[in-house]
Homo-oligomer: A and B are copies of this chain.
Amino acid sequence: MPENTITQTDTLDFSAGRRRPRVAMLVFPGMTLLDFVGPHTAWAPYCDIDIVWETLDPVATDTGLTVVPTTTFDDCPADLDVLFVPGGAVHTHALRNDTALAFLADRGARAGYVTSVCTGSLLLGAAGLLRGYRAATHWATRDLLTLVGAVNSTDRVVIDRNRITGGGVTAGIDFGLTLLARMLDEEAAQVSQLAMEYHPAPPYEAGSPEQAPSSLVQAVTGMLADFSADLTAVLKDVASAGALRG
């Protein structure tokens, strides 16, 4: 597919000779793609990023767009500046995947930053990486953090030692820029923010459960009820198995 192959000159490189941090970003079937693409877009001009899953086969995300990993668990570098996990339907394929959990536990033990967006923190937690840490997740799943030994925070971006976790979906943009400032410097983060034209203008006051009308929160909680029930059941299974193993 030469006509579809992009060259280095098609991509932006703002790193200007500085060392490019080594980042590994997990993908998995059922993931929420926007969790991933916010930080990926913020980091890509400055970082060397591996997109990791079990195989190089295309991975279907939760809205129907399919993405292609660039490396596998086996081939991913051992020592990372950043390990990142997106959220979404973590329970359908990722939480029960012992190979994925072992990969996260191994790389997370040595990574400079261990990070997630949305329900990705539940997956980090299932790999044993958030015990005793404050963390964020999607607002509809905040109660579940205790199942993996983490302490729920309602902050949009939570920094506890080298664990940096973002809230639901679009929080990944705020998270990504925040971490970029720590990886490199504030100028790099500001460059990325301007390049992404991130001067948001949400059409409604409806983006968090604290801000939205309670009737709207109830409606969305209802729409997510099956998702939440399935996720809770699988996470309880996995967490108790982990406790037995550990």
Taking beta carbons and an 8 Å cutoff, which residues of A are in contact with B? Answer: 1, 3-6, 9-12, 14, 29-30, 32-34, 36-38, 40-41, 44, 49, 51, 55, 57-68, 70, 89, 92-93, 118, 138-139, 156-157, 167-171, 173-174, 177-178, 181, 186-187, 189-191, 193-204, 206-209, 211-212, 216-217, 219-220, 223-224, 226-227
Q: Are A202 and B200 in contact (CB under 8 A)?
A: yes
Q: Which residue of B lies closest to A61 (CB)?
A: B6
CB <8 Å contact, A203 and B189: yes
Report whether B199 and A211 are in contact in the complex, using a CB–CB cutoff of 8 Å: yes
Given A11-B62, A41-B169, A199-B202, does the pair A207, B224 have CB atoms closer than 8 Å?
no
Contact in complex: B190, A212 (CB < 8 Å): yes
**What is the CA–CA distance of A154 and B12 in the complex, to the nearest angstrom?**
24
Q: Which residue of chain B has its CB nearest to the CB of A181?
A: B203
B58 and A6 contact, CB distance less than 8 A: no
Q: Do the beta carbons of A206 and B194 come within 8 Å of each other? A: yes
Q: Which of B49, B59, B156, B186 contacts A204 (CB 8 A)?
A: B186
A173 to B60, CA, bound (A): 21
12 contacts between A and B (CB under 8 A): A10-B92, A33-B41, A34-B37, A51-B64, A58-B68, A170-B200, A173-B202, A174-B202, A190-B212, A194-B212, A199-B211, A200-B202
Partner of A197, one of B59, B89, B207: B207
* A66/B68 in contact, CB under 8 A: yes
Q: Which residues of B contact A195 (CB under 8 A)?
A: 168-169, 220, 223-224
Q: Which residues of B contact A10 (CB under 8 A)?
A: 29-30, 62, 89, 92
B12 touches A37 (CB 8 A): no
- CA separation between A123 and B57, bound complex, in Å? 31
Pick from B14, B138, B190: contact of A206, CB below 8 A. Answer: B190
